[in-house]
Amino acid sequence: MMREKSLRIMHHVSRIIYMANRLPHTNLIPGSMPTAVLVCGDPARATEIAARLDEHRLLAEQREYRTYMGVKNGRSLTVTSHGIGAPGAAIAFEELIAAGARQIIRVGTCGSLQPTVKPGHLVIASAAVQRTGYGREVVPDGYPAVANAALTLALNEAAAAQTIPAHTGIVLTRDAFFNGVVNANTPDYALMSQANVLAVEMECAALFIIGSLRHVQTAAILAVDGFVLEKTEDMAAFVDHAAEKKTAVAAAIDTAIQALINQSGD
């Protein structure tokens, strides 16, 4: 009985030590990861990205944060899902940096704000119009949300090998997906379009702000899954361009992986 009790106590203590050495939301170990990271909203997409590596293994899974570590063409890479929206995504970005990330590329989706940016195309975000509650809390008013120039250039160079058109420019990052009551804080899509904002999404500004604050390279490539000036976001929108979206997401994944491989000597 005493031995069994001692074993139970040792197991409990070991679990406490194990958890204490892990980051609280992602369950990652500080300083344990490769420096190059791909992030995406959907945990299932993280699995899809990991499957495109030469080898991979599940590193941690907690809440919406699913993390794989793998290798592609000799470069070690991490893949993590960050969920939907700036606040939750920002937690993933901060803990990834604590775990060792120094280059983070978001592979996501977006809604087009320009007639020339069509469903199935790619958008490489050079910067983001910051319209999130998260951003208002962590940086001063007017603070720019800008991607890293070198990593963005690497995405552009890798995208040139794809057959799908890729557009580079500013995106809009907002919090709400479904419409509420239009008010002074509701982004005006027509106005954003006139200002040559390419697309709307929900996490890039948080990524770029954190990159600037923590001295980490950040960038983003997005698959266009709709044209929001023509039809605003709703629950049926996801099936309208499913085939084009699937092809574009695959191209975005390949582009992001290649961009990180090309940056391995930097």
Structure tokens at 199: 């697309």
- Contact assessment for residue 151 and residue 38, using Cβ atoms and an 8 Å cutoff: no
Q: Which residues contact 46 (CB under 8 A, 6 or more apart)?
A: 40, 66, 67, 68, 79, 80, 81
Q: How high is the pLDDT of residue 243? A: 87
Active-site annotation holder among 225, 234, 240, 254? 225
Q: How far apart are CA 199 and CA 106, in angstroms?
A: 15
Contact 129, 204 (CB under 8 A): no
Query: In this predicted structure, what is the pLDDT of residue 238?
Result: 58
Strand partners, 40: 81
Q: CB of 216 within 8 A of CB of 103?
A: yes
Provide the residue type at 196 as one letter: N
253 exposed, middle or buried (CB, 10 Å; 0-12, 13-18, 19+)? buried
Model pTM?
0.90
- Rounded to 5°, angle at Cα 239 from 58 and 258: 40
| 235 residue type, one letter | M
225 classed as catalytic: yes
Contact between 48 and 245 under an 8 Å Cβ cutoff? The reply is no
What's phi and psi for 223, nearest 5 deg?
-90, 130
- At residue 156, the pLDDT reads 98
- CA 76 vs CA 146, 178, 256: distances in Å: 26, 38, 14
Amino acid letter, residue 129: V
**How many beta carbons lie within 10 A of that of residue 161, not counting itself?**
10
Residues 185, 229: Cα–Cα separation, whole Å: 18
Q: What are the structural domains, with CATH classification, of the chain?
A: 2-262 (3.40.50.1580)
Q: Distance of CA 162 to CAs 150, 156, 178, 239, 256, Å? A: 19, 10, 32, 24, 12
The secondary structure of 128-166 as a DSSP string is: EEEE-HHHHHHS-TT--EE--HHHHHHHHHHHTTSSS-E
> Cα torsion at 197, 202, 208, 214 (round to 10°)?
170
Angstrom CA distances, 46 to 37, 68, 80, 131, 173, stand at 11, 8, 6, 26, 21
Q: Are 143 and 130 in contact (CB under 8 A)?
A: yes
Per-position pLDDT tens, the chain of length 266 = 443 443 343 344 334 334 558 999 999 999 999 999 999 999 999 999 999 999 999 999 999 999 999 999 999 999 999 999 999 999 999 999 999 999 999 999 999 999 999 999 999 999 999 999 999 999 999 999 999 999 999 999 999 999 999 999 999 999 999 989 999 999 999 999 999 999 999 999 999 999 999 999 999 999 999 999 877 766 666 566 788 999 999 999 999 999 999 987 54
DSSP H or E run through 233: none
